[in-house]
């Protein structure tokens, strides 16, 4: 059962019955995500789906309608009101945009990702797609990308996700560099939503977006959403460190601002403030944290980060419990390795970083562990223990991760220097 999208300003779909898992329906209005509807297991027709959407998300719909400067929902039939054309006069961005997909030995998974990117509604003359093949052991990815003439294949021999991200940034010609993963399906309007967010927020250097599950067929996929998932809500937010605020204390938990599966940066930010730290993320002892560190770097540099839910993607969650447990453990490792890296990079933030680490161990790990011990049926204790062990391990991983990155650099040499776009 794949994620179904239902547009309230158009014909609504019939929701089929489900035999396993759960069925989510993403409700949108004028292309903007409003919220999730959970239809009955027996399915429902368009009229019932519309009723559920209005019943469950009336406030969000009203806010959107008010923003469109339409009549009050009380003065018109909701079905007529929602069908009206969105009157907002948005100037479409003419910024050039490079989509970067980093992958390694996952050609079968990558195919769906590339098909979704092919369907983007962004102007072809402004869109570039770079597929970074990270330390491949075969030519399957190169062969697959050759079937997409508009996409550019680049091989990055240095193993590690942040090496691949840096390779994509160095290869990019666009003003905006947008990243997604090989197990993600981007929405048709994803690139346009990212570009509009940068256009409307000129002080922003990073845009993140909504990440929803592509399917919820297995208990592990449902557990991941129950654990927190990747979703960060349906409201747009602009985050920026205020005068006198501690970046670490108020913004150190950067996972709440988005994830590396759906993030974009102005290319000028990389040129001025550096690339991703190759000691972090998948393929290193850190196992994560590269995206979190870059979000924090945006704040420390004095810029804003925009969370734009209209920039929507769908992620293929791990299907088995063993895969989920490994992912949860690595989340703990990556987060605390990022914190240790940040404490080293910004000595003035160390006190607040350590306060954040202590608070996170209690609030997110130990408190949840105690709650699960009291209510063992509510959530598996071993998942919480896995993340706790990962978190404690992450406290000492950054030194090993730096040695690993130095070894990769000694073997392969430094990446290609910045070159002019063209």
**Structure token digits, residue 228:** 């927190």
Of 70-79, 181-190, 339-348, 411-420, minimum mean pLDDT range = 70-79
Burial of 203 (0-12, 13-18, 19+ CB in 10 A): exposed
- Cα–Cα distance, 411 to 405 (Å, whole number): 10
Residue 177: CB partners within 8 Å, gap ≥ 6? Answer: 97, 98, 100, 168, 169, 264, 265, 266, 267, 270
Q: What is the mean pLDDT of residues 271-285?
A: 96
Nearest to 254 by CA among 241, 267, 235, 273: 241
State what percent of residues in the chain have pLDDT above 70.
93
Whole-number Cα distances in Å, 281 to 135, 187, 223, 287? 15, 25, 23, 5
* pLDDT at residue 286 tops 50: yes
- The 8-class DSSP code of residue 89 comes to -
Q: What is the mean pLDDT of residues 37-56?
A: 95
- Cα–Cα distance, 206 to 303 (Å, whole number): 8
Tell me what pLDDT residue 84 has: 53
Q: What is the mean pLDDT of the chain?
A: 92
* Residue 173 banded pLDDT, cuts 50, 70, 90: very high
* pLDDT at residue 86 tops 70: no
Q: What is the mean pLDDT of residues 243-260?
A: 92
pLDDT top residue among 36 and 376: 36
Tell me what pLDDT residue 73 has: 42
Q: What is the mean pLDDT of residues 118-138?
A: 97
Nearest to 5 by CA among 260, 257, 188, 184: 188
* pLDDT at residue 370 tops 60: yes
**Tokens 């990702």 identify what position?**
113
* Residue 69 banded pLDDT, cuts 50, 70, 90: low
Q: Can you spell out the DSSP letters for 328-360? A: HHHHHHHHHHHHHHHHHH-GGGHHHHHHHHHHH
Strand 304-315 versus strand 32-37 pairing type: unpaired
Tell me what pLDDT residue 416 has: 74
* Residue 232 banded pLDDT, cuts 50, 70, 90: very high
Q: What is the dihedral of CA 217, 221, 222, 223, to 10 degrees?
A: 150
Residue 155 pairs with which residues in a beta bridge? Answer: 133
Residue 84: CB partners within 8 Å, gap ≥ 6? Answer: 9, 70
Tell me what pLDDT residue 66 has: 84
Burial of 323 (0-12, 13-18, 19+ CB in 10 A): middle
State what percent of residues in the chain have pLDDT above 90.
82
Residue 93: CB partners within 8 Å, gap ≥ 6? Answer: 192, 195, 196, 198, 199
**How confident is the model over 312-338, as pLDDT tens digits?**
999 999 999 999 999 999 999 999 999
- Cα–Cα distance, 92 to 297 (Å, whole number): 28
- Cα–Cα distance, 255 to 232 (Å, whole number): 9
For residues 61 and 73, the answer to whether their CB atoms sit within 8 Å is yes
* Residue 417 banded pLDDT, cuts 50, 70, 90: low
Nearest to 176 by CA among 145, 212, 202: 202
Q: What is the mean pLDDT of residues 98-126?
A: 97
Nearest to 317 by CA among 251, 239, 230: 230
Q: Please say whether the dihedral angle defined by the alpha carbons of residues 294, 341, 274 and 408, taken in this order, is positive or negative.
A: negative
Strand 176-181 versus strand 262-266 pairing type: antiparallel
Tell me what pLDDT residue 419 has: 42
Tell me what pLDDT residue 80 has: 52
Angle formed at CA 390 by CA 352 and CA 215, multiple of 5 degrees: 105
* Residue 399 banded pLDDT, cuts 50, 70, 90: very high
Tell me what pLDDT residue 74 has: 43
Alpha helices in 68-204 (DSSP H): 78-83, 107-118, 140-145, 161-171, 190-200
* Helix, strand, coil share of the chain (percent; to 5): 45, 20, 35
Tell me what pLDDT residue 126 has: 97
Strand 184-186 versus strand 204-213 pairing type: unpaired
Q: What is the mean pLDDT of residues 145-168?
A: 97
* Residue 85 banded pLDDT, cuts 50, 70, 90: low
- The 8-class DSSP code of residue 188 comes to T
Tell me what pLDDT residue 421 has: 31
**Tokens 């809500």 identify what position?**
233
């Amino acid at each position: 059962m794949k994620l179904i999208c239902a547009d309230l300003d158009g014909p609504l779909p019939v929701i089929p019955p489900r035999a396993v898992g759960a069925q989510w329906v993403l409700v949108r209005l004028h292309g903007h995500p409003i919220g999730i509807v959970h239809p009955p297991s027996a399915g429902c027709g368009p009229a019932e789906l519309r009723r559920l959407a209005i019943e469950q998300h009336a406030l969000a719909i009203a806010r959107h309608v008010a923003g469109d400067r339409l009549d009050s929902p009380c003065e018109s039939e909701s079905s007529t009101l929602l069908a009206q054309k969105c009157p907002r006069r948005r100037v479409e961005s003419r910024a050039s945009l490079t989509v970067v997909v980093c992958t390694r030995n996952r050609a079968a998974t990558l195919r769906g990702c590339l098909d979704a990117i092919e369907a983007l509604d962004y102007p072809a003359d402004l869109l570039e797609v770079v597929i970074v093949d990270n330390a491949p052991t075969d030519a399957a990815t190169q062969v697959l990308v050759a079937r997409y003439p508009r996409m550019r294949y680049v091989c990055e021999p240095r193993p590690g996700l942040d090496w691949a991200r840096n390779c994509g940034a160095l290869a990019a010609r666009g003003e905006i560099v947008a990243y997604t993963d090989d197990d993600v399906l981007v929405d048709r309007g994803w690139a346009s939503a990212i570009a509009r967010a940068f256009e409307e927020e000129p002080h922003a250097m990073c845009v993140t977006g909504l990440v929803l599950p592509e399917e919820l067929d297995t208990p592990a996929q449902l557990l991941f959403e129950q654990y927190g998932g990747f979703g960060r809500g349906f409201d747009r937010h602009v985050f920026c460190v205020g005068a006198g605020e501690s970046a670490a204390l108020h913004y150190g938990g950067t996972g709440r601002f988005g994830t590396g599966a759906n993030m974009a940066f102005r290319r000028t930010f990389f040129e001025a403030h550096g690339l991703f730290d190759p000691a972090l993320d998948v393929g290193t002892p850190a196992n994560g944290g590269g995206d979190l560190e870059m979000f924090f770097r945006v704040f420390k540099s004095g810029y804003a980060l925009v969370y734009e839910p209209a920039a929507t993607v769908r992620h293929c969650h791990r299907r088995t419990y063993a895969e989920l447990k490994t992912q949860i453990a690595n989340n703990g490792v990556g987060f605390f390795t990022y914190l240790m890296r940040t404490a080293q990079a910004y000595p003035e933030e160390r006190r607040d970083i350590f306060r954040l680490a202590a608070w996170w161990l209690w609030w997110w790990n130990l408190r949840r562990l105690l709650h699960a011990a009291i209510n063992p049926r509510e959530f598996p204790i071993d998942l919480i223990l896995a993340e706790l062990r990962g978190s404690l391990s992450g406290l000492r991983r950054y030194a090993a991760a730096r040695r690993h990155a130095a070894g990769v650099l000694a073997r392969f040499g430094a990446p290609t220097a910045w070159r002019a776009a063209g």
